[in-house]
Structure 1
Amino acid sequence: MQELDSALFELINAGATAPAWSIHFARFASDLLPTLLAAAILCGAMFDRRLRYACFTALVSVLVVWVLVNVFRSVMPFQRPAFYGLGIQWAPQGARPGFPSLHAAGTFAAAFSLWCLPRRAPMRAALAVAAVVAWSRVFLGLHFPLDVVVGAMLAAVVAIAVERGVSRPLNLALRAWMRPRLRARRARAG
């Protein structure tokens, strides 16, 4: 498996002859796209009640993924490609472990949290953004392909578990708590 992962890494990683624009785009994708995705979800939540629910699910999912990735990295610190002298590392990462990819896991967690929406277009767009972020991490030489694949799989499991186990019950409890207050407000108003 490690040979396949290394071979795929060598195939995707930007070589010395990569055009400068591709390196700049990959850095943009790696550094700013996760933030832009989060901002888009937050802005949408300001205008759409269903997106508020998805935004809460995304926030909890990203926090859970962050904890799980950091725990896993401390227990089993698998190194990044640069540690093995593979490819070119186009952005500094130091000697931190890289499995699974936190960028990929966090971005995919936010994207998968949109599956609860009635329309699939926002989730598909967010998944496309997450895929570009995952690609950029390998292209820049920061992760092996397996790092980002496992990050995406972890994110999917966490986002679904959070939505089913935390967001939905919390949402139902909040509605039950708010229902008598809304009735009382309506009774006073009219």
Structure 2
Amino acid sequence: MNALNLAAFHWIAAGSHPTPWVLSAASALAPWGSWLCGAILVAALWRRRADRVYLCIVAAMAGVTSLVSHAIAQPLNTPRPFVLGLAPAYIEHAGRGGLPSTHAAVMFLVALAFLLRPGLRRLGVALLALAAATGWARIYVGVHFPLDIVAGLLLAGVIAGALAIAQRCVHAAMPRADRASGDQDTAHSLWRPS
């Protein structure tokens, strides 16, 4: 896998002679794509009243994803491309371990969580494209290997899967509780897809 990872990195990365306008775009997207993702999440929280509880859960899960990603990356301490001298770092970045990419993990988690919710799927598609573009940009500017981004996507998929299972369990359990108590307006409606 290492040879494939290196080959993919050399194919995607800017290298020593980048195309100026591509480098400018990647240099902006690599650090700021995650902030745009966060802004979209905040805008959805503000505009989508029916989905607010779900979106708060997604925001909390994004925080958990960041912590888990850092907890995995720290002991692995996989060197970044610029640390190994394979490419210059075109953005300022610390040299600590980069597998999995926390940017990728959090952004893909938010995108996948939006895709799980019918009323948020259109935004989810846009967030998925933004996460993929940011992942590409972080490789292009020399701060991640492709495997780092893929590992972030896999971590996001596991956590989004856990969120989907929890949602189904709550949705399946709450109607029985509603019938037993006679209360039709409980927390079950908070998880119900909009």
TM-score range, shorter chain: 0.7 to 0.9
Equivalent residue number for residue 142 of structure 1: 143
Are 1:15 and 1:88, in contact at CA under 8 Å, matched by a contact in 2?
yes
Contact 1:108 1:155 in 2 (8 A): yes
Once residues 11 and 53 of structure 1 are traced to their aligned partners in structure 2, the CA distance between those partners, rounded to angstroms, is: 42
In structure 2, the gaps of 5 or more residues are 187-194
Q: Which residue of 2 aligns with 1:29?
A: 29
Instruction: Please state how far the C-alpha of 1:87 moved relative to its aligned partner.
Output: 1.9
- 1:45-85: CA deviation from partner (whole Å, max 9, x where unpaired): 22223442442232122112111111112221111112222
- Bigger drift between 110-119 and 145-154 goes to 110-119
- In the alignment, what sits opposite 1:132? 133
Aligned residue pairs, count: 179
Map 1:171-182 → 2, pairs under 5 A: none
Contact 1:98–1:143 under 8 Å retained in 2: yes
| Identity among equivalent pairs (%) | 28
Deviation at 1:112, TM superposition (A): 1.0
Counterpart of 1:165?
166
Contact 2:8–2:146 (8 Å) recurs in 1:
yes
- Check whether the contact 2:65–2:105 (CA below 8 A) recurs between aligned residues: yes
**TM-score of the pair, normalised by structure 2:** 0.80
Distance 1:140 1:50, change over 3 A: farther
Change (3 A) 1:146 1:88: same
SS at match of 2:90: coil
Q: After superposition, what is the alpha-carbon deviation per residue over 1:115-146, rounded to whole angstroms, capped at 9, x for unaligned? A: 23215322111100000011011001101100
Provide the TM-score with structure 1 as the length reference: 0.82
The answer as to whether partners of 1:105 and 1:154 remain within 8 angstroms in 2 is yes
Q: 1:46 to 1:167 in 2, by over 3 A?
A: farther
Greater mean alpha carbon deviation, residues 11-20 or residues 123-132:
11-20
Change (3 A) 1:59 1:11: same
Instruction: Tell me, in whole angstroms, the C-alpha distance in 2 between the residues paired with 1:157 and 1:12.
Output: 26
- 2:45 touches 2:55 (CA, 8 Å); kept in 1? yes
- Which consecutive unaligned segments of at least 5 residues does structure 1 have? 183-190
SS in 2 for 1:61: helix
| 2:143 partner SS | coil
Q: Does 1:14 align with 2:41?
A: no
